[in-house]
């Protein structure tokens, strides 16, 4: 009998087989170099603090920037940053010897990508003197980070015609040696797609370019408006309410059943909800793997729940502090160490700037809660059925490190807060990290503070330092002792 497969057919079959093999190899390479997920380097998970500062929460998938593009952007577009020094000019906390700043996460998903985590806005740095080595405090307020300038930088780079494969590849080739496959991937896919992705954000960030809104400046962002424009995709309105980055330590002090609420205006029910919503904000898209995502949220909830506030690291006069406690009990405790602490104090009573409250309402809360629920995620969520007309009487643990003060960061130091509002500084510089032990807060004036920091003008919109006129009538000697006590909290 003859061979049933004629030679012509056999040839066709071999070609087909080869094509399948090539496609499989191509597919494998595409997956391996484009999408294959690798765990982060092991040191990142070696301590909870490192995990908080550098650990991925999954933001690299949709919001990540390819590492080499991230690396060369400040070299290609230095003029789009607030000053010299690359990303450091954005005030991001950057530990010596680290490849990326705190709050930036490097993870390989096909190719190395850089995302962000909570620590970019929730890590404090301070120095005792200009010559001291900075101390990094995980979960402290990110008072140096200029989030607005970072967002604008990325959009401005993408809009520039010089953001193209030729220019970016030239810079990348100058700093690293990619193999042929990576070079092709970067040139034909990664660079054009990244540009496209960043340009898509332009419309949502339009309000960051408004001339009638002052800059957020270092250490602030307009969190509720970010939620409106990114999570529920509402069109831009006229509200403006940037707030100071808060501390995130010791979150277990907030107890829902005692009526405690989270965020400055008490618009979220509990820490778990805020953490989940913040994490979704960083991902910029529904989580790829829900269980893994919830795992990150639970870990953060546990870690931040139990992390103690840092102790004041400089000398405290204990005698004065004891006297100061009596003044605190008489003037402050009814809001800051009582059943009112952690609950909303009506705006008429505290009298501080109203703009932040106007950025958010019950309809926004309902819409956001629906978005999260539709992702199949469970949480108590944003407050839909309580008045949102005031600010939370803050717990004061670690208050020494939470300058500048009030929800909008409008008062530079604790000493200034104990002055009537017309005597508080109208103009100061925020985001410089040298500590001022006499005023209890950061240094906010002088050549270095002005060079590094961003200007806060309390006469501008959203920036008022009005209200909270408590303890302002005390004598200077009493204020000294009260300040000494506040250092012990
Ligand atoms: C881009 C900066 C930024 C990032 C990133 C960020 N936050 Fe925040 N966070 C803020 C600001 C600003 C507020 C204050 C919001 C308000 O009330 O207006 C806040 C509020 C909070 C609060 C409420 C604090 C309180 O005392 O009421 C918690 C808790 C919190 N964030 C945790 C997180 C966690 C956990 C992450 C990461 C998953 C995260 N945040 C990411 C800026 C940020
Ligand atoms: C009637 C209640 C009330 C009294 C009394 C009161 N506070 Fe406050 N305090 C508040 C509220 C509400 C806020 C939040 C206001 C805001 O951010 O706009 C606040 C905020 C603060 C902050 C800023 C917290 C931060 O993270 O920026 C400090 C510090 C503070 N108070 C200290 C004091 C001291 C010291 C006294 C006593 C001399 C005092 N307060 C008396 C209600 C009160």
Give 242-286 pLDDT, tens digit per residue.
999 999 999 999 999 999 999 999 999 999 999 999 999 999 889
Picking from 414, 408, 464, the residue whose alpha carbon sits closest to that of residue 436 is 414
Of all protein residues, whose CA lies closest to atom 10 belonging to ligand 1? 245
Ligand 1 atom with the shortest distance to the CA of 267: 17
Judge contact between 483 and 324, C-beta under 8 A.
yes
In terms of Cβ atoms closer than 10 Å to its own Cβ (0-12, 13-18, 19+), residue 7 is exposed
- What are the distances in angstroms from CA 107 to CA 58, 92, 132, 267, 406? 9, 19, 32, 33, 36
pLDDT, tens digit, 9 for 90 and up, residues 397-407: 999 999 999 99
pLDDT (0 to 100) of residue 321? 97
Ligand 1 centre distance from Cα of residue 118 (Å):
7
CA-CA distance, 242 to 261, in Å (whole number)? 19
Picking from 98, 95, 75, 229, the residue whose alpha carbon sits closest to that of residue 151 is 229
pLDDT (0 to 100) of residue 34? 83
Ligand 2 centre distance from Cα of residue 257 (Å):
22
CA-CA distance, 291 to 278, in Å (whole number)? 17
What tokens appear for 291 in the block? 């269980």
Picking from 68, 72, 64, the residue whose alpha carbon sits closest to that of residue 162 is 72
Tokens 């012509």 belong to residue: 8
Indicate if ligand 2 lies below 6 Å from the C-beta of 245.
no
Ligand 1 atom with the shortest distance to the CA of 271: 29
Of all protein residues, whose CA lies closest to atom 2 belonging to ligand 2? 335
- Probe ligand 1: pick from 56, 246, 268, max atoms within 8 Å of CB? 246
CA-CA distance, 392 to 346, in Å (whole number)? 9
CA-CA distance, 237 to 234, in Å (whole number)? 8
Give the count of beta carbons closer than 10 Å to the beta carbon of residue 203.
Answer: 11
Which-ligand-closest: CA of 478? Answer: 2
Indicate if ligand 2 lies below 6 Å from the C-beta of 487.
no
Of all protein residues, whose CA lies closest to atom 13 belonging to ligand 1? 245
* Residue 219 region by backbone torsions, left for phi larger than 0, else alpha for psi between -120 and 50, else beta: left
Indicate if ligand 2 lies below 6 Å from the C-beta of 157.
no
CA-CA distance, 344 to 316, in Å (whole number)? 32
Ligand 1 centre distance from Cα of residue 139 (Å):
10
Ligand 2 atom with the shortest distance to the CA of 328: 37
Greatest distance between any 2 Cα atoms in the chain: 115
Of all protein residues, whose CA lies closest to atom 22 belonging to ligand 2? 406
Ligand 2 atom with the shortest distance to the CA of 471: 38
Task: Report, as ranges of residue numbers, the positions in the chain whose pLDDT lies below 50.
Answer: 1
Which-ligand-closest: CA of 142? Answer: 1
Tokens 């765990």 belong to residue: 39
CA-CA distance, 162 to 212, in Å (whole number)? 29
Indicate if ligand 2 lies below 6 Å from the C-beta of 405.
yes
CA-CA distance, 277 to 301, in Å (whole number)? 12
Backbone angles phi, psi at 92, to 5 degrees: -65, 140
Q: Using alpha carbons only, give the angle 195, 93, 87 rounded to the nearest 5 degrees.
A: 35
Ligand 1 atom with the shortest distance to the CA of 248: 29
Ligand 1 centre distance from Cα of residue 451 (Å):
27
Of all protein residues, whose CA lies closest to atom 25 belonging to ligand 1? 263
- What's CA 198's distance to the chain center, in Å? 18
Which-ligand-closest: CA of 265? Answer: 1
Query: What is the Cα gyration radius of the chain?
Result: 26
Ligand 2 centre distance from Cα of residue 379 (Å):
29
Give the count of beta carbons closer than 10 Å to the beta carbon of residue 289.
Answer: 10
Which-ligand-closest: CA of 266? Answer: 1
- What are the distances in angstroms from CA 385 to CA 76, 348, 488? 50, 20, 37
CA-CA distance, 332 to 328, in Å (whole number)? 5
Query: In the structure, which protein residues have their CB atom closer than 6 angstroms to any atom of ligand 1?
Result: 57, 116-118, 120-122, 147, 221, 223-224, 243, 245-246, 248, 251, 262-264, 271, 274-275, 278-279, 282, 300
Judge contact between 290 and 376, C-beta under 8 A.
yes
Alpha carbon dihedral 27, 30, 33, 35, in 10-degree steps, equals: -90
Picking from 143, 103, 87, the residue whose alpha carbon sits closest to that of residue 443 is 143
Which-ligand-closest: CA of 469? Answer: 2
Judge contact between 327 and 474, C-beta under 8 A.
yes
pLDDT (0 to 100) of residue 4? 58
- What are the distances in angstroms from CA 7 to CA 12, 16, 17, 18, 247? 9, 14, 15, 16, 76
Indicate if ligand 2 lies below 6 Å from the C-beta of 320.
no
Judge contact between 284 and 205, C-beta under 8 A.
no
Ligand 1 atom with the shortest distance to the CA of 282: 5
Judge contact between 384 and 366, C-beta under 8 A.
yes
In terms of Cβ atoms closer than 10 Å to its own Cβ (0-12, 13-18, 19+), residue 413 is buried
- Probe ligand 1: pick from 121, 148, 154, 217, max atoms within 8 Å of CB? 121
CA atoms within 13 A on the CB side of 45: 9
pLDDT (0 to 100) of residue 3? 56
Indicate if ligand 2 lies below 6 Å from the C-beta of 434.
no
Judge contact between 218 and 430, C-beta under 8 A.
yes
Which-ligand-closest: CA of 392? Answer: 2
Which-ligand-closest: CA of 487? Answer: 2
């Amino acid at each position: 009998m003859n061979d049933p497969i004629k030679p012509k057919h056999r040839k066709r079959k071999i070609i087909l087989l080869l094509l399948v093999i090539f496609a499989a190899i191509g597919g494998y390479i595409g997956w391996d170099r484009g999408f294959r997920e690798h765990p982060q380097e092991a040191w990142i998970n070696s301590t909870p603090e490192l995990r908080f500062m550098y650990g991925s929460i999954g933001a690299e998938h949709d919001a990540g920037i390819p590492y080499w593009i991230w690396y060369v952007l400040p070299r290609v577009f230095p003029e789009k940053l607030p000053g010299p020094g690359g990303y450091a000019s954005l005030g991001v906390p950057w530990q010596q010897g680290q490849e990326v700043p705190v709050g930036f996460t490097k993870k390989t998903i096909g190719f190395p990508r850089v995302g962000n985590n909570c620590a970019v806005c929730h890590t404090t740095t301070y120095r005792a003197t200009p010559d001291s080595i900075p101390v990094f405090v995980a979960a402290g307020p990110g008072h140096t980070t200029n989030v607005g300038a970072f967002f604008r930088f990325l959009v401005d780079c993408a809009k520039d015609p010089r953001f193209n494969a030729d220019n970016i590849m030239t810079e990348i080739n100058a700093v690293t040696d990619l193999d042929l496959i990576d070079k092709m991937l970067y040139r034909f896919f990664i660079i054009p797609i990244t540009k496209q992705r960043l340009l898509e954000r332009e419309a949502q960030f339009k309000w960051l370019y408004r001339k009638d809104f002052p800059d957020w400046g270092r250490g602030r962002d307009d969190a509720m408006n970010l939620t409106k424009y990114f999570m529920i995709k509402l069109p831009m309105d006229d509200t403006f309410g940037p707030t100071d980055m808060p501390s995130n330590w010791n979150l277990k002090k907030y107890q829902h059943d005692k009526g405690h609420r989270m965020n400055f205006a008490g618009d979220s029910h509990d820490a778990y909800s805020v953490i989940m919503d913040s994490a979704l904000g960083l991902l910029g898209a529904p989580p790829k793997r829900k269980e893994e995502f919830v795992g990150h949220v639970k870990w953060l909830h546990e870690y931040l729940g139990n992390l103690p506030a840092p102790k004041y690291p400089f000398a405290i006069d204990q005698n004065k502090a004891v006297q100061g406690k009596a003044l605190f009990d008489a003037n402050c405790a009814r809001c800051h160490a009582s059943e009112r602490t952690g609950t909303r104090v009506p705006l008429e009573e505290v009298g501080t700037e109203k703009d932040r409250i106007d950025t958010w309402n019950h309809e926004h809360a309902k819409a956001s809660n629906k978005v999260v629920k539709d992702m199949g995620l469970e949480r108590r969520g944003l407050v839909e059925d309580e008045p949102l007309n005031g600010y939370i009487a803050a717990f004061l643990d670690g208050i020494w490190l939470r300058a500048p003060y009030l929800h909008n960061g409008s008062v530079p130091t604790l000493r200034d807060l104990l002055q009537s509002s017309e005597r508080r500084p109208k103009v100061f510089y925020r985001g410089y990290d040298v500590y001022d032990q006499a005023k209890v807060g950061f240094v906010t004036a002088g050549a270095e503070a002005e060079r590094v920091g961003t200007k806060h003008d309390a006469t501008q919109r959203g920036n008022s330092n009005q209200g909270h006129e408590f303890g302002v009538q005390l004598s200077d000697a009493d204020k000294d002792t009260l300040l000494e006590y506040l250092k012990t909290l």
